[in-house]
Amino acid sequence: MTAGPKAEKARRVLVVDDDDTFRRMLVAVLADEGFEVLGPATDGLEGVALAHALRPDAIVLDIRMPGLDGLAAGRKIRDADPAVRLVFLSAYNDKTLQREAEALGAHDFLVKGCRLSELVDALVR
């Protein structure tokens, strides 16, 4: 992993995660990587609303969230904006959830705890 901006393809990233600690750290890391971090949103519904309002290049979505979960939110976002890059970042590593994410056109499905370089690659690749 190399330091510095790498977000040539997806500079504007919306973060959607309900956990304060993780979300704060994720925002800090992505910003440090040179991304323009939008939001962040703390649940699925807010994520859908901000996605529609801000039109990010990419969205990092948690899956298990109160109200509208990440997959349902991602489906709504995808329906409204087929070009947006969806990257799921979840504590779950279930194959079923991965297939559902792929089915709705997600760009990647990462498990929390992965290396930062994997996340950055998913956003810019």
* Contact with other proteins (CB under 8 A) among 5, 9, 24, 53: 24
Which stretch in 7-15, 29-37, 42-50, 72-80 sits in contact with other proteins by CB under 8 A?
29-37
Q: How many CA atoms lie within 13 A of 18 on its CB side?
A: 15
Residues 36-65 within binding reach of other proteins (CB under 8 A) = 64
By C-alpha distance, which of 68, 45, 70 is closest to 60?
70
Q: How far is the CB of 29 from other proteins (least distance, A)?
A: 5
Residues 66-95 within binding reach of other proteins (CB under 8 A) = 91-92
* Contact with other proteins (CB under 8 A) among 6, 13, 16, 33: 33
Contact residues for 50 (Cβ-Cβ < 8 A; gap 6+): 14, 16, 38, 39, 41, 56
φ/ψ of 116, rounded to 5, equals: -60, -35
25 binds other proteins (CB under 8 A): yes
